[in-house]
Amino acid sequence: MKLREHREIILYVFFGGLTTLVSILTQYSADYLGAGTALATSISWLCAVTFAFFVNKIYVFRNKSAKMSGWLRQAAGFYGARLATYFLELGFMLLTVEVFLLNMHVMKVIAQVFVLTGNYLLSKFFVFRKK
């Protein structure tokens, strides 16, 4: 396996891991401070998506748009695409934690597997696609 051929996926997984860490730590922190499942998940999502936008744009997909309009268009697309996985995660968290009373910490980690995969596909094929 040539590392150069798989650079994008390797970097995405690496930064996806860091994004997952941001998501989990902010979820746990918000929960510790008394936020409910929905609010903690929302705060977690906002922090993780903001972190992910910058690392994906700069390091993973090496997108070089210099104009502010390019950044804003991509940020809007990135956050818009991530809304799909946000609702997937929020629904999963509410169902498993609030309805089935499963452990929030375990469910958050499981949710991140689905979120990471969905976000990669949305970023690669819609947000930072090559022209």
pLDDT at 113: 86
Burial class (CB in 10 A: 0-12, 13-18, 19+), 41: buried
User: What backbone phi and psi angles, to 5 degrees, belong to 65?
Assistant: -55, 125
Q: How confident is the model at residue 1 (pLDDT cuts 50, 70, 90)?
A: low
Q: Is pLDDT of 33 > 80?
A: yes
Residue of higher predicted confidence among 84 and 65: 84
Q: Is pLDDT of 4 > 80?
A: no
Residue of higher predicted confidence among 115 and 49: 49
Q: Is pLDDT of 6 > 60?
A: yes
Q: Is pLDDT of 96 > 80?
A: yes
Give Cα separations from 27 to 1, 74, 126 (angstroms): 36, 26, 27
Provide the mean pLDDT of the chain.
89
Whether 90 and 111 have beta carbons less than 8 Å apart is answered as no
- Mean pLDDT across the stretch 76-80? 90
User: What backbone phi and psi angles, to 5 degrees, belong to 103?
Assistant: -65, 125
What secondary structure does DSSP assign to 35-98, as a single string? --HHHHHHHHHHHHHHHHHHHIIIIIS-----SHHHHHHHHHHHHHHHHHHHHHHHHHHIIIII
Residue of higher predicted confidence among 42 and 2: 42
